[in-house]
Structure 1
Amino acid sequence: MSRLLWQPSPERVRGSNMYRFMEKVNQAHGTRFQGYDDLYRWSVDHIPDFWARVWDFTGIRSSAPYTEVVDDPLKMPGAKWFSGARLNFAENLLRHRDDHTALVFCSEGERHRLLTYAQLYAGVAKTAAALKALGIAPGDRVAGFMPNMPEAVIAMLAAASLGAVWSSCSPDFGAKSVLDRFGQSSPKVLFAADGYFFKGKAIDSLPRIREVCGALSGLEKVVIVPYTRPDPEIGTLEKAVLFSDFQDPDARTIDFVQLPFDHPLYIMYSSGTTGPPKSFVQGAGGVLIQQLKEQVLHTGLTRDDTIFYFTTCGWMMWNWLTSALATGATVALYDGSPFHPGPGVLWRYAEKEGFTVFGTSAGYLAALRDSGFCPGDSHNLSPLKTLLSTGSPLSPDGFDFVYGKIKADLQLASISGGTDINSCFVLGNPMGPVYAGEIQCRGLGVRVAAYDEQGRAVVNRSGELVCEAAIPSMPLYFWNDPDGEKYRQAYFGRFPGVWTHGDFIQINDNGGVVIFGRSDATLNPGGVRIGTAEIYRQVETLDEVEDALVVGQNWKNDVRVILFVKPAPGHELTDALKEKIRAVIRANASPRHVPAKIVAAPDIPYTLNMKKVELAVKKILDGKDPGNRDALKNPESLDFFMGLEDLIEHR
């Protein structure tokens, strides 16, 4: 049985948005639900009724009502949602236009800006008017190559107000990685900052912007936001204009273009580690209602909250975070390293602004723990009520760190979903308990199951994460996939008519979920399926290990498990440490989890969105091409693995 770490008080449960929503359902449908399990079962058994209730509860604004919630929730892909409705995504996020703080912005240099909802609306109005004057119309593409700053939010909302399709990359992406993405969608306008800050240095983006713009066909305007310097030199950058000169100073109002529920809003991109990034086209209404469900019900956001997520514009959590504007909450943005000038930088920000919701990655929490920094000892975090973690599975040790060193009385919501759906499959439940190493629940209205290899749903056993019914934020289609074949093969090839996500999970009989890692990186020694996260959870408990990567190598008609270890500073991978690692894994996982080989590595490869790259290393060890190195944050790290002749040649 998992260890109970936190239980909401009865007062907190009754005061939650989730509880109020459950009462609304009871009143409207004559039900008598008392807790989350009953509500969840109803939500996936009565999908049209559930999403209609979400529409009303979150106050979605539309100029024309919907005539049908969904034509067939079992039709995947291709379910048609909220037919007849006409709305605008940006209008829903800008429904508040008062002096309440909308955006807070901080960077490493402690630069600090506040924008009220009135000021945000005014900035979007000026930018939208300029885009309209340029001829931007529904369906045109507008892109951002920006730090996580207010101008990125303004540009996205301005594009969405006109029905244009937005996509963005983080400024630390190399020119080829940017072109791998924007080169597919051919934006007409590119918003970019002159640079960004990282570890105390100002990084110049203009040379990469020049390279990107020179290769993008159909680009009509490049809008440069001065950030690292007050007056960047853009004279040699063709079609470039400064942001302040681009905006229409006389614009006061926004004419929000009213569009169908499934009008394209975003083009999101996969990591691209196995080839060119897949381009997911997502609808405005689907993203809106799905993300509002998660923020209002599962996260509990209200106008009194200040929500922060440590993210860049190249990660879906940026898109998720910006949707919180629709709740009227204050959204906190940050640009820079989370460890410069020290590990307390984000927690000073949290204390100063009174964060009530703090979002980050499991990797950040592990690094914070390893640094020895204890936020709860040095900062007043009394307003903090929820901590969100995603990006990779959070180990039980990570749960213990949050409750022991950050704050004992908060909801730790480990969440997991995907860029492809721009939302979550499994996430937090403000009415329920938190157990070590376990995600609290499956998302309302999301029919998640774990399938064994025969396609049978299993409980208390590991299996493939599948979704048995459509949700509104599933991609409309892939860009440049006219017959939909790439889309179908990506998600519906293994179990026809059922979304197969690619994660290896276990759904417990208490409704909680454990994620073991990507199923395509699942280890199969002796035919037994093992999730990589099961091994990481044990290795992460050792102070002598800074990072690790585990892969399964094809070996003598079987698979052997190889663990690569990056020792912590001051430590070496000695025989004694290897034996300690084996003993910890054997005792706390099982003998079959013990690696056949443990090898010291100077660095662990990560994607640009900071996810471990197991498949590329596995390919190398199996004698294959590792794939697209430009999708990695540290591509040079692969050189070490390619030099392991003994492992590669003697398979």
Structure 2
Amino acid sequence: MNNLLWSPSEKQVSEANITAFIRFVNEKYGKNFNSYSELYDWSITDIPDFWATMWEFCGIRFSKPYFQVVDNLDNMLEAKWFAGAKLNFAKNLLRYRDDQTALIFKSEALEPVRITYTQLYDRVARLARSLRDMGIKTGDRVAGFMPNMIETVIAMLATTSIGAIWSSCSPDFGIKGVLDRFGQIGPRVLFTANGYYYNGKAHDSLTRIPGVLKDISSIQKVVVVPYTEEKPNISHVPNSVYFDNFISKESGLEIEFEQLPFDHPLYIMYSSGTTGIPKCIMHSAGGTLMQHLKELLLHTNLKREDKMFYFTTCGWMMWNWLVSSLAVGATILLFDGSPFYPDSGTLFKLAQDEKITVFGTSAKYLAAVEKNGIKPGREYDLSNLRAFLSTGSPLSIESFEFVYKDIKKDLRLSSISGGTDIISCFALGNPIGSVYAGELQCRGLGMKVEAFDLNGKHVFNQKGELVCTAPFPSQPIGFWDDPDQKKYKSAYFDVYDNVWHHGDYIEINDKTGGVVIYGRSDATLNPGGVRIGTAEIYRQVETLPEVLDSLVVGQEWDNDVRVVLYVKLAESVELTDELMKKIKTVIRVNTTPRHVPAKIVSIKDIPYTISGKKVELAVRNLIHGQPVLNKDALANPEALEYYKDIPELQN
């Protein structure tokens, strides 16, 4: 078992939302649960009762009650949730109308902007009126090519209040990346800012918009938010209007929340698109709402008085997850810019200045902070911080230990893991449980997550495929333009019959209930037929001061697979025989001889997706002479050039 790093105090346990939920379940069903494991077992055994209790505990706002929690529970593809219910997603997020701060927006270049829940409601009402006036109706698509700013949240809420479908991507996408996404779904309105800030520079967004409009004829209106300039020139953008000129001038408007079925489409999200055109994943209003409230209230322990921050762009599902915090009435911090500008402590300074209580980021960011020698706990006042979340890729044991050594000792560190596919998590935090180095604290309530071995059998304490063997409300309602569900079925149900196959490689600890993620199973290495997760190698290599970053792929060679390790080295460091020996030794000593790479190659850059994930599959395709179909999904597509025709891999 890994090191115990933190346990909640009696006070923290007694005041946790999940403790109140356990009491609620005990009273309602005559149970005597005292632990998370008992609650979890019940949640995956009595699935309808669990979700019915969540509905009640979360105070879901609805106009018509459901008559059945779930039917077809034995069929993951056919299960239908909360039949008969009518509700509106935006109404549930706008349940508070008072003077508490709802949103704080901080960018690299500007002072923080704040709006209250009352002001948020008013602006959503006015924008919804304008959208209705131009004929936007239930089922229409509205797209956001926006930074993570207040107007983006307002646009999403106005869109979904009508029952139209919101879809967004990050403004750093190139034209092809935008067309690959929005071009498939035919939006009628496009919201964009004139630009965004990154690394001390203003970057223009408007130059790309005419090219987007040329190829997406469905867009009737482009609503431009002036951001990096006070009055940007929009004359070259057809059918464009400034946000302030588009939003209704009427005051005191009440929002007409369209009442819709539980499984009405809410969001269209996109797969990373690194191996082909992105899949357009449709998520339901009810499923998203229920799952997010469960995760925010019970797993994150979010309360009305909290200040919640997640470092994300609007193209990552963590943005959607973060914004759902409005339903809890918390204050949300939005950030646009580089987390390393003007220095590596930027986000921790934000935590100090705004008294953030729940701080979320990526594993990549944490590793970089440690590499840069920052000691946030010494350099900033983080006395308000009580929970720290990490996702995007596996968080190493060293990063776990770094958080407790150099950020804060009395802190619940919840590494969480799920995906765009489910717009939520399979494994995440447990406010009444302990934190062990390298482990996600628990499997999510109501999520029947298992690790399957090569024979498709559930195993504990050994590596296996992450699967989910029972339906859950935030399964996609399908893919866009996939009427027979062929693409949807092949994405998740081709490997096992009636079992969701997620494509992650995990281990479930039967003693702690924790989960270890080893990375994508489709990037799993198989030298000599032994399965190895790439995260196991990254964890060792990236402890070395000489190595800034790394990438591991399997190269087919001599009727087997050999492990190839690419290393991006620190400035003025060369890949000598001595350094190669050091790298191999640290891997061999801390893992197994099978993990030791057959080839180590010095490389100038490591390719990442825009949401911060290493791009192993594209590199694997390149070295096998296969095409990389969608470079626009990458944050740094030029990095792929370094991987072509490398002499060391020819022998």
Per-residue deviation, residues 128-152 of structure 1 (Å, max 9, x unmatched)? 0000001011000000000000000
1-side partners of 2:405 and 2:39: how far apart? Answer: 32
Q: What is the match of residue 428 of structure 1? A: 429
SS, match of residue 63 in structure 2: coil
Q: What is the match of residue 21 of structure 1? A: 21
Q: Is the 8 A contact 2:144 2:190 kept in 1?
A: yes
Q: What is the match of residue 581 of structure 2? A: 579
Deviates more, 1:537-546 or 1:162-171: 537-546
2-side partners of 1:504 and 1:546: how far apart? Answer: 25
Q: What is the match of residue 220 of structure 2? A: 220
Q: What is the match of residue 93 of structure 1? A: 93
Q: What is the match of residue 177 of structure 2? A: 177
Deviates more, 1:345-354 or 1:444-453: 345-354
Is 1:143 matched up with 2:143?
yes
Unaligned runs of 5+ in 1: none
SS, match of residue 278 in structure 2: coil
Q: What is the match of residue 326 of structure 1? A: 327
- Paired amino acid for 2:640: L
Q: What is the match of residue 133 of structure 1? A: 133
Q: Is the 8 A contact 1:261 1:286 kept in 2?
A: yes
Q: What is the match of residue 41 of structure 1? A: 41
Q: What is the match of residue 250 of structure 1? A: 250
Which of 532, 535, 540 is 1:533 aligned to?
535
Q: Is the 8 A contact 2:194 2:228 kept in 1?
A: yes
Is 1:102 matched up with 2:117?
no
Q: What is the match of residue 75 of structure 1? A: 75
Q: Is the 8 A contact 2:599 2:648 kept in 1?
A: no
Q: What is the match of residue 479 of structure 2? A: 478
Which of 570, 573, 583 is 2:572 aligned to?
570
Question: Where do residues 355-374 of structure 1 align in structure 2 (5 Å cutoff)?
Answer: 355-374=356-375
SS, match of residue 520 in structure 1: helix
Q: What is the match of residue 516 of structure 2? A: 514
Question: Where do residues 384-399 of structure 1 align in structure 2 (5 Å cutoff)?
Answer: 384-399=385-400
SS, match of residue 565 in structure 1: strand
2-side partners of 1:646 and 1:297: how far apart? Answer: 51
Q: What is the match of residue 162 of structure 2? A: 162
- Paired amino acid for 2:5: L
Q: What is the match of residue 309 of structure 2? A: 308
Aligned length: 649
- Paired amino acid for 2:516: V
Q: Is the 8 A contact 2:6 2:412 kept in 1?
A: yes
How far 1:627 moved relative to its partner?
2.8
2-side partners of 1:113 and 1:33: how far apart? Answer: 44
The CA RMSD over aligned residues, in Å, is 0.9
1-side partners of 2:72 and 2:449: how far apart? Answer: 17
1-side partners of 2:182 and 2:282: how far apart? Answer: 13
SS, match of residue 63 in structure 1: strand
SS, match of residue 53 in structure 2: helix
Q: Is the 8 A contact 1:78 1:476 kept in 2?
A: no
- Paired amino acid for 1:52: A
- Paired amino acid for 2:36: Y
Question: Where do residues 378-417 of structure 1 align in structure 2 (5 Å cutoff)?
Answer: 378-417=379-418
How far 1:78 moved relative to its partner?
2.5
How far 1:623 moved relative to its partner?
2.4
Q: What is the match of residue 547 of structure 1? A: 549
Q: What is the match of residue 231 of structure 1? A: 231
Q: Is the 8 A contact 1:74 1:468 kept in 2?
A: no
Q: Is the 8 A contact 2:192 2:224 kept in 1?
A: yes
Q: What is the match of residue 461 of structure 2? A: 460
How far 1:258 moved relative to its partner?
0.4
SS, match of residue 272 in structure 2: coil
Q: Is the 8 A contact 1:601 1:640 kept in 2?
A: yes
Q: Is the 8 A contact 2:105 2:150 kept in 1?
A: yes
1-side partners of 2:244 and 2:510: how far apart? Answer: 56
Q: Is the 8 A contact 2:94 2:121 kept in 1?
A: yes
How far 1:570 moved relative to its partner?
3.4
Which of 580, 598, 601 is 1:599 aligned to?
601
2-side partners of 1:406 and 1:418: how far apart? Answer: 27
How far 1:323 moved relative to its partner?
0.3
1-side partners of 2:74 and 2:350: how far apart? Answer: 45
How far 1:640 moved relative to its partner?
1.1
Which of 616, 620, 630 is 1:618 aligned to?
620
Q: Is the 8 A contact 2:276 2:628 kept in 1?
A: no
TM-score normalised according to structure 2 size: 0.99
TM-score normalised according to structure 1 size: 0.99
How far 1:374 moved relative to its partner?
1.1
How far 1:449 moved relative to its partner?
0.2
How far 1:111 moved relative to its partner?
2.2
2-side partners of 1:640 and 1:158: how far apart? Answer: 45
SS, match of residue 64 in structure 2: coil
Q: What is the match of residue 559 of structure 1? A: 561
Q: What is the match of residue 261 of structure 1? A: 262
Per-residue deviation, residues 583-640 of structure 1 (Å, max 9, x unmatched)? 1111111111111111101000111111001011111222222332222111111111
Unaligned runs of 5+ in 2: none
2-side partners of 1:197 and 1:467: how far apart? Answer: 40
Question: Where do residues 438-449 of structure 1 align in structure 2 (5 Å cutoff)?
Answer: 438-449=439-450
SS, match of residue 578 in structure 1: helix
How far 1:439 moved relative to its partner?
0.6
How far 1:72 moved relative to its partner?
2.4
SS, match of residue 223 in structure 2: strand
2-side partners of 1:398 and 1:573: how far apart? Answer: 25
1-side partners of 2:67 and 2:353: how far apart? Answer: 47
Percent same amino acid among aligned pairs?
A: 60
2-side partners of 1:290 and 1:435: how far apart? Answer: 25
Per-residue deviation, residues 237-274 of structure 1 (Å, max 9, x unmatched)? 11000000001111521010100000000000000011
1-side partners of 2:2 and 2:348: how far apart? Answer: 29
- Paired amino acid for 2:551: L
Per-residue deviation, residues 527-573 of structure 1 (Å, max 9, x unmatched)? 00000011111112111110000011111111110110001223222
How far 1:231 moved relative to its partner?
0.4
